[in-house]
Chain A
């Protein structure tokens, strides 16, 4: 027990002293996950919206598949991305394995279905309300997508942050394709896993604290942004 409290103190020390190794890891995590979620949103939001408004045979099957992909096991994603990027894989020539880019790719694969599925749900609900009015204005189904995306922007921001939360907390896939190389591909989650197994609890605890802080901040931002319109709402008994 004595050990643990000591580890706690040195964890706090690490955070407060601005330990360069620690912040390098934190910054890489943020860079990788932010970039991944931005790319995932650029793909997933238009795709999800298009899926919400389009009508084609087999649409239900696609929606079901997409919802299933939301729960894609990270290790499987890691394995698939690994196979693609490994020396003999289809993208092997790019030599991306064990680079931050590989981790970004893995997180994009993981997060894109989540953002696509959440967008589809959100846009479909809004479209049920808007469809006839937009049609009356002479706007075709597909052309109504930008309007729907813009008017659903708060709900979509929530989807974006949900994707970010998933990306930054992910371990399995990034450790497989990133390799947890010191000063190159070490992110918060993989470092916590490694350092804990090595018994270096101070660094693990410090990173854990920062990870929790980020998660709380993201959630707080979501709940602060969402009820913007409710500022002028009446109080209910």
Chain B
């Protein structure tokens, strides 16, 4: 199979719980993201996938539980080494180019280096012709692509992606999947939510199925699709849980 390096940082979550108004939104006893290659998170709407990603990235503090990265409890310094693409992309009210140079500047790149790198990224993402346009005027798919490019620009050690290709056309999806795999090969840990089973098969090394706020199953990609162990996974694959 694809050759992924074993240098991606290890993430471990124990006893994560989030509740609101008596309802349990997230309840993850134990989750370890350690193996090589991307982790793809599947699950029906409202299963808690976005919530889990926000927790792992440290954007929300769970009511209970503990998250470590390389054995060290999550802190703000970790977040600087991570990036996240949100389900609804948030772009700065600046030009397409400026959205990239903004984060590159925080990486400590000089003015010229920033522009060169931004142009390179825009070419890879098929947005070079839009560089000077306002980011607010991009189409839904273009905005999503820019958000992904911006996350890649950070060259994070961990990259969280929440349905990053949900609005992309087939060829853009292919291009973005290529960029994500390239990052994974360079050692970035990819943690990605998707509703696209084909995509999970293509990219996933490790599959996590969420259901009702819990991790219903975690398995290597081959096992998950050929021999699902949990009833939830079998139902999900049969399409029974998809609303």
Q: Shortest distance in angstroms between B151's beta carbon and chain A's nearest beta carbon?
A: 9
> Quick one: given A147-B92, A232-B137, are A132 and B59 in contact (CB under 8 Å)?
yes
Q: Is B76 an interface residue (CB 8 A)?
A: yes
Whole-angstrom CA separation of A126 from B91 in the bound complex:
11
Contact of A132 among B86, B93, B137 (CB under 8 A): B86
With both beta carbons as reference points, the residue of chain B lying nearest to A130 in the complex is identified as B90
Q: How many A-B residue pairs have CB under 8 A?
A: 41
Query: Contact flags (1/0) for A10-38 with B, using CB distance below 8 Å?
Result: 00000000000000000000000000000
Q: Is B197 an interface residue (CB 8 A)?
A: no
Query: Contact flags (1/0) for A118-141 with B, using CB distance below 8 Å?
Result: 000000001001101101111110
With both beta carbons as reference points, the residue of chain B lying nearest to A232 in the complex is identified as B137
Chain B positions 78-99 with a Cβ under 8 Å from a chain A Cβ: 79-80, 82-84, 86, 90, 92-94
Q: Shortest distance in angstroms between B140's beta carbon and chain A's nearest beta carbon?
A: 16
Count of residues in A whose CB is under 8 Å from the partner chain: 17
* Chain A neighbourhood of B173, CB < 8 A: none
B86 near A133: Cβ-Cβ < 8 Å: yes
A151 near B92: Cβ-Cβ < 8 Å: yes
Q: Shortest distance in angstroms between A96's beta carbon and chain B's nearest beta carbon?
A: 42
Q: Shortest distance in angstroms between B159's beta carbon and chain A's nearest beta carbon?
A: 11
Chain A positions 101-157 with a Cβ under 8 Å from a chain B Cβ: 126, 129-130, 132-133, 135-140, 147, 151-152
Whole-angstrom CA separation of A133 from B99 in the bound complex:
12
A136 near B83: Cβ-Cβ < 8 Å: yes
Contact of B57 among A126, A130, A136, A232 (CB under 8 A): A136
* Chain B neighbourhood of A233, CB < 8 A: 137
A229 near B103: Cβ-Cβ < 8 Å: no
With both beta carbons as reference points, the residue of chain B lying nearest to A126 in the complex is identified as B93
Whole-angstrom CA separation of A232 from B137 in the bound complex:
8
A229 near B136: Cβ-Cβ < 8 Å: yes
> Quick one: given A133-B86, A232-B137, are A151 and B93 in contact (CB under 8 Å)?
yes
Q: Is B134 an interface residue (CB 8 A)?
A: yes
What is the interface of chain B mostly: helix, strand, loop, or mixed?
Answer: mixed
> Quick one: given A229-B134, A229-B136, are A136 and B84 in contact (CB under 8 Å)?
yes
Contact of A138 among B80, B90, B92, B134 (CB under 8 A): B80
Q: Is B112 an interface residue (CB 8 A)?
A: no
* Chain A neighbourhood of B102, CB < 8 A: 147
Interface centre among A135, A137, A229 (most CB of B within 10 A): A137
Whole-angstrom CA separation of A152 from B93 in the bound complex:
8
Q: Is B20 an interface residue (CB 8 A)?
A: no
Contact of B90 among A132, A140, A229 (CB under 8 A): A132
Whole-angstrom CA separation of A138 from B83 in the bound complex:
9
Contact of A133 among B90, B94, B134 (CB under 8 A): B90
Contact of A151 among B80, B83, B94 (CB under 8 A): B94
Whole-angstrom CA separation of A140 from B102 in the bound complex:
15
Contact of A136 among B59, B93, B133 (CB under 8 A): B59
Q: Shortest distance in angstroms between B240's beta carbon and chain A's nearest beta carbon?
A: 33
With both beta carbons as reference points, the residue of chain B lying nearest to A229 in the complex is identified as B134
A229 near B137: Cβ-Cβ < 8 Å: yes
Q: Shortest distance in angstroms between B5's beta carbon and chain A's nearest beta carbon?
A: 25
With both beta carbons as reference points, the residue of chain A lying nearest to B103 in the complex is identified as A137
With both beta carbons as reference points, the residue of chain B lying nearest to A228 in the complex is identified as B134
Whole-angstrom CA separation of A135 from B54 in the bound complex:
11
A residues contacting B by CB (< 8 A) are 126, 129-130, 132-133, 135-140, 147, 151-152, 229, 232-233
Given contacts A133-B86, A151-B92, A151-B93, 5 further A-B contacts (CB under 8 A): A136-B82, A229-B136, A232-B133, A232-B134, A233-B137
15 sample A-B contacts, Cβ–Cβ < 8 Å, listed by A number: A129-B90, A130-B90, A136-B59, A136-B82, A136-B86, A137-B83, A138-B76, A138-B80, A139-B106, A147-B102, A151-B92, A151-B93, A151-B94, A229-B134, A232-B133
Nearest first, the 9 closest Cβ-Cβ pairs linking A and B are A133-B90, A138-B80, A151-B93, A136-B84, A138-B79, A229-B134, A151-B92, A135-B59, A132-B59
